[in-house]
Amino acid sequence: MGSPVYVINPNSSQTVMAAIDRAVAPLRSADGPDIVCLSLAEGPPGIQSQRDVDGVIMPMLRKAAELEEDAGAFVIACFSDPGLHALREQSGRRVFGIAECGVLTALTLGQRFGVIAILPTSIPRHLRYFGAMGVLDRFAADLPIGLGVADLSEEDRTLGRMIDVGNTLKTTHGADVLVMGCAGMARYRRALEQAVGIPIVEPTQAAVAMAVGHVRLSDAVTA
């Protein structure tokens, strides 16, 4: 019922897309907007560099344009929020970025947020974005686990590193809430939260929750 929320995973990985689909499943309701997850065939297997981020914007905009007519809202499911403002410009629908929503949701859960990034090279990109968002006064630190998107499926190694980084963010940097800095980390949220002992925000869930709320309110207004 209602206009769907399109969750665009701008890489080409079906594995990541399926994981996102599972992560947001609880947000589906019998009488609410559908939540449709899709990958971007033109995207790279994982978005890891600034070039990857910038390179997916045009195909993502084209894909969104095809979906525009019946869309209720868009979610861009990559922690660099590629094309967020270009899609807001292009579309008549609300557009949610998972980094933006993940960080903002974290601000309701703790006073200083930490971020678990995949690679060291992600960090300056994140810092620029948090600066643009104006949230650096609430920022504790952003540390990498040193694994690429493809490596995230190796469960033991990935979770172990996330716990190490999470504990450092908590203990050394004073973070009292953490944001997962990649759309492909959802499966580890619960175990990580138990291990580190502070709230962990899975950013795609945060964004889709806000998107569903928006579509429900918006459909009601225009009904």
Residue number, 101 or 180, with CB nearest to a copy of itself: 101
Residue number, 67 or 127, with CB nearest to a copy of itself: 127
Residue number, 151 or 176, with CB nearest to a copy of itself: 176
Residue number, 11 or 205, with CB nearest to a copy of itself: 205
- 3-class DSSP string for the chain: CCCCEEEEECCCCHHHHHHHHHHHHHHCCCCCCCEEEEECCCCCCCCCCHHHHHHCHHHHHHHHHHHHHHCCEEEECCCCCCCHHHHHHHCCCEEEEHHHHHHHHHCCCCCCEEEEECCCCHHHHHHHHHHHHCCHHHEEEEEECCCCHHHHHCHHHHHHHHHHHHHHHHHCCCCCEEEECCHHHHHHHHHHHHHHCCCEECHHHHHHHHHHHHHHHHHHHHC
Phi-psi region of 161 (alpha: psi -120 to 50; beta: other; left: phi over 0): alpha
> What's the closest the beta carbon of residue 103 comes to a copy of itself, in angstroms?
9
CB 9 within 8 A of CB 81: no
Q: List the one residue from 49, 91, 153, 167 that touches a copy of itself (CB under 8 A).
A: 49
The stretch near a copy of itself (CB under 8 A) out of 36-44, 124-132, 144-152, 162-170 is 124-132
Residue number, 53 or 162, with CB nearest to a copy of itself: 53
Site for a copy of itself in 181-210 (CB under 8 A): 190, 205-206, 208-210
The stretch near a copy of itself (CB under 8 A) out of 10-18, 36-44, 119-127, 154-162 is 119-127
The stretch near a copy of itself (CB under 8 A) out of 13-21, 34-42, 91-99, 153-161 is 91-99
Footprint of a copy of itself on this chain (CB under 8 A)?
25-27, 29-32, 49-51, 53-55, 57-58, 61, 83, 85-86, 88-90, 94, 96-97, 100-101, 104-105, 107-112, 121, 123-125, 127-129, 131-138, 141, 174, 176, 190, 205-206, 208-210, 212-214, 216-217, 219-221
